[in-house]
Amino acid sequence: MTDLSTEDKKLVTLARATRARIQAAEGAAVRDTDGRTYAAATVDLPSLQLSAVQAVVAAAVSSGSTGVEACVVLGDAGELIEPDAAALRDFAGPSGVTVHVGDARGAIGETRTA
């Protein structure tokens, strides 16, 4: 995590702790344009399935946030899938969002703009 800002390291900690707490497939955390942070894990119920990124975007939007500037997603897959990238783009607006993707332990393997 040495290349990440202090604020992005905080997102890694939040995503990792959220994922570990319920032993979910993924954990994600975002920082909105006001500096507030949100974290969520994969939701896998018979009637509702959300990736961690979709869940954290929903949490931020439902809390009144109007945009996101950074996201961390951690999980076994170690990749950002297109539906998650689309949700982040919809929420981020024209400037895009920095996304750090890492494994379940929190080691970031990729940073990109969605």
Q: For domain 6-113, which CATH number applies: 3.40.50.2300, 3.90.180.10, 3.40.140.10, 2.40.50.140?
A: 3.40.140.10
What's the pLDDT score for residue 94?
75
- Tell me what percent of the residues of the chain surpass a pLDDT of 70: 98
What's the pLDDT score for residue 2?
52
- Write a three-state SS string for the chain: CCCCCHHHHHHHHHHHHHHHHHCCCEEEEEEECCCCEEEEECEEECCEEECHHHHHHHHHHHCCCCCEEEEEEEECCCCCCHHHHHHHHHHHCCCCCEEEEECCCCCEEEEEEC
The structural domains of the chain, with segments of one domain joined by +, span 6-113
Asked if the model's pLDDT at residue 1 lies above 90, the reply is no
